[in-house]
Amino acid sequence: MAIQWFPGHMHLTKQAITERIKAIDVVIELLDARLPGSSANPMLAQLTAGRPTLKVLNKQDMADPLRTAPWLAYYNSQPGTRAIALDSSDTAAAQRLIASCRALAPLRGGMVKPMRVLICGIPNVGKSTLINSLVRKRAAKAADEAGVTKAEQRISLADDFYLYDTPGMLWPRIIVAKSGYNLAASGAVGRNAFDDEEVALELVDYLKGPYAQQLQERYKLKDAAAMTDDELLTEIGRKRGALQSGGRVNMQKTAELVINDFRTRQLGRITLETPEEFALWLAVGQKLDAERQVKKDAIELNRLIKFKKIPRPPRPANTDTRQENSSDTPAAEEAQKP
């Protein structure tokens, strides 16, 4: 599915992170505990240049605890990384976050060397809610400080603890197809950017595996796992009375209903990916992306040859005489592959 969005603020936010990172001790990456892999911004590691990172699996109250545990173990096994799960409206849990930051940069603290933390995350992941919980009664105030751009805000959580907030940022191209669906289902991308029915079909396709029981209970179904995705969505529509004239199931309405049930926890606590699944999806996505890049490069090379911006590469010594025109170059052959 092509999820189409304009990643607004992206350039400004990227620029702000690049400038700010030089004076940052810890990066907090806020992830959605229901889709930790898909909600991680692939550009962030590059932008934050190996700074100690705290992965916060937020909205843990909506995620499957049996899956949150392996995700935490996965992140905690990575060097320079710690991970915690929390519900951002819980003020006590939010205080754990401060302690985890201090553990990641033990040499920082006190007025001379205050802790400087950058917080990043995709839109709707719960950053504002978390910051409000962290700030509690302390007024969140933006710093009037040179270098603090409009794309970030400095919040002082203690006299020696500064949090630099960045706007929610998505990345321009999602190479993991499944991530696109999961981000759409979670609410990270605006409604106009995707097709509800497609997202709902993908959602029930996944849920009928590990969460068949929850689907059956919510929609009074018999054997969800045995149904095709279309049958499943249609049956849900019928059961929930999402009908249109002639008694046919209104698929759009049904899709909205299923997505909404997922987002509001009506289907129970669900996590849409395990570390192993995500690793597999990522490998497939990267392979397809590399193939796409080869094709793109070949098209560009062919274009440059055609318009004589660069000379045609020399033919090998035993070149077949039939290879006469530039469209027979290896690059052009690559470009012509479907």
Residues interacting with ligand G4P, by CB under 6 A?
Answer: 58-59, 61-62, 87-89, 121, 123-129, 168
Q: What is the closest distance, in whole angstroms, from the C-beta atom of residue 59 to ligand G4P in the complex?
A: 4
Nearer to ligand G4P, 240 or 263 (CB): 263
Min dist CB 8 to ligand G4P, Å, is 13
Question: What are φ and ψ of residue 60, in 5° steps?
Answer: -65, -25
Q: Which is nearer to ligand G4P, 126 or 285 (CB)?
A: 126
Q: Which residue is nearest to ligand G4P (CB)?
A: 126
What single letter denotes the amino acid at residue 3? I
Residue 13 CA to residue 105 CA, distance in Å, equals: 24
Distance CA 134, CA 79 (A): 26
Residue 298 phi, psi dihedral angles, 5° rounding: -65, -40
CB of 88 to ligand G4P, least distance (A): 4
Nearer of residues 84 and 125 to ligand G4P, judged by Cβ: 125
Minimum CB–partner distance for residue 86 and ligand G4P (Å) = 7
**DSSP one-letter string for 237-269:** HHHTT-B-GGG-B-HHHHHHHHHHHHHTTTT-S
User: Can you list the pairs that 150-154 forms with residues at least 24 positions away whose Cβ atoms lie under 8 Å?
Assistant: 150/12, 151/9, 151/12, 151/13, 151/15, 151/16, 152/16, 152/20
Tell me if 130 sits within 8 A of 30, measured CB to CB.
yes
The residue (of 32 and 273) whose beta carbon lies closer to ligand G4P is: 32
- Can you tell me the distance from the alpha carbon of 98 to that of 114, in angstroms, rounded to the nearest whole number? 13
Q: Which of residues 57 and 215 has its CB atom nearest to ligand G4P in the complex?
A: 57
CB of residue 167 vs ligand G4P: minimum separation in angstroms?
Answer: 9
Could you tell me which residues are beta bridge partners of residue 162? 116, 156
- Our CB check for ligand G4P shows the closer of 12 and 294 to be 12
